[in-house]
Amino acid sequence: MSKKHNFSAGPCILPQEVFQKSAEAILDFNGSGLSLLEISHRSKDFVAVMDEARAIVKRLMNLGDDYEVLYLGGGASLQFAMVPFNLMKSAGGKAAYLNTGTWSAGAIKEAKKLGTVDVVGSSKEENYSFIPKDYQVGNEYDYFHCTSNNTIYGTQMREFPKVDTLLVCDMSSDIFSRVIDFSQFDIIYAGAQKNMGPAGTTLVVVKKEILGKTGRDIPSMLDYSLHIAKESMYNTPPVFPVYASLLTLQHLENNGGIAAAEVRNEAKAKLIYGEIDRNPLFETFCTIEEDRSLMNVSFKLLDESKKEEFDNAWKAAGITGLNGHRSLGGYRASMYNALPIESVQVLVDVMQNLK
C-alpha cells in the first residue's frame, strides 16, 4: 500500500524514522529482550530516556536551569486546570485570557472555577477568524494566558504581547515549528500529538521561581512543584509517548533544529496559500492575512456544486485527513513539521485541476 499524504490535525504525521525506531523498541528495547511497553519506568534505560527527553527540550528552546521540563498525562486539557491551580491566588485570584478559539475557550471555562477571569481580547463574535491585538494586560492579574495557534480556525499569533504579569501559552499545535524567544514565557504547555509525538503525553515547560506563591492547597497530581521534585515521575509516566517524543525531537535537532523547520514550514504555507489566493474556487476562513497559521490552513470551497468532484479528487490522490473540523466545516490542511512539501504540492495540483 502506498504512503498517504497525511494532513490530519492530530494525532498527526510523524517522521518515518520515528515510526521505525518506535516499532523496534516495542519488540526489543535497547537489546534488553524486553519491550518498551513492559519495562519498568524506574529502569536505568527508561530513566535515561526521560532525562534526555527533558534535556533536549531546553536545548531546542535555548533555556537554562531556571526552567524545568515535565512530561505529564491528561493532555493540554488538563493544563487548563493545572495552570490556574498553580498560578491563581487562593484569595482574590484574577487572570487575563485571550479568547481565540475553541481551546482557549476551554481554558477560560476551567480557570473560572478557581477565580476571576477577564477576557481581555476575543474574536468569538467573528467566528474566531482573526487574532485580537488591541488589548492591555496590567499587573493586577496573576497571569495572562494565550493560545499560540488555533487548529480549527487556522489562525496563529505571530507575535506575543509584552505583559506586566506572568505569560502562559498553550503551544499544542505549533510548538517547535518556528523560532521564538521561549524565555519570554513563564509556562509553556503542549499536547504532544499535534507536532512532537503520539497522543498520551503533554509537555510542560515552567520557570521554577514562579511556583509556590498562590497560598493554595493544590491537589498532588496537579502540583507542578511535586512533579518537578519527582523528575516527572511522581506517578508512572506515559512511557511509550515520551520515548516517541524524544525520537521526534532528536530527528528535529539532527535536521537543522527549529530554524530549519521554520524555513520548511514557511515554504509549505506559501505554496498552499498562494494557490488559495489565486484560485477563485477557494477561500480561507482566516480574514486577516498576517494571522494565517503556518500549521493549519482552514479553507472552504466557494462553489458547493463542485464538492463531490473535489472530494473524490483529493482522495484519489492519496490525501487523507483534509476534512475541516466538525464545528467549522470546509477543509483543513494541517502541515506539521514532518509533512513534506511534496504532499502539499499534491494537494495544490488537485486544487489547480478543479475547474
CB 223 within 8 A of CB 86: yes
The reply to whether 300 belongs to the active site is: no
For 192-210, b where at least 16 C-beta lie within 10 A, e where not — what string? Answer: bbbbbbbebbbbbbbbeeb
Distance CA 162, CA 166 (A): 10
End-to-end CA distance of the chain: 30
| Rounded-to-integer distance, Cα 83 and Cα 124, Å | 22
The catalytic position among 142, 170, 223, 291 is 170
Question: CB-based contacts of 120: which residues, under 8 Å, 6+ apart?
Answer: 96, 97, 98, 135, 136, 137, 144
- The catalytic residue among 103, 207, 291, 314 is 103
Dist. CA 88–CA 205, nearest whole Å? 18
Indicate if the alpha-carbon torsion angle 206, 208, 214, 218 is positive or negative: positive
Is residue 170 among the annotated active site residues?
yes
Tell me how far apart the alpha carbons of residues 116 and 141 are, in angstroms, rounded to a whole number: 9
Whether 103 sits among the annotated catalytic residues: the reply is: yes
For the four alpha carbons of 230, 232, 238 and 242, in that order, the dihedral sign comes to negative
β-bridge mates for residue 119, sequence order: 97
Catalytic residue among 142, 186, 194, 291: 194
Q: Which positions are catalytic?
A: 103, 170, 194
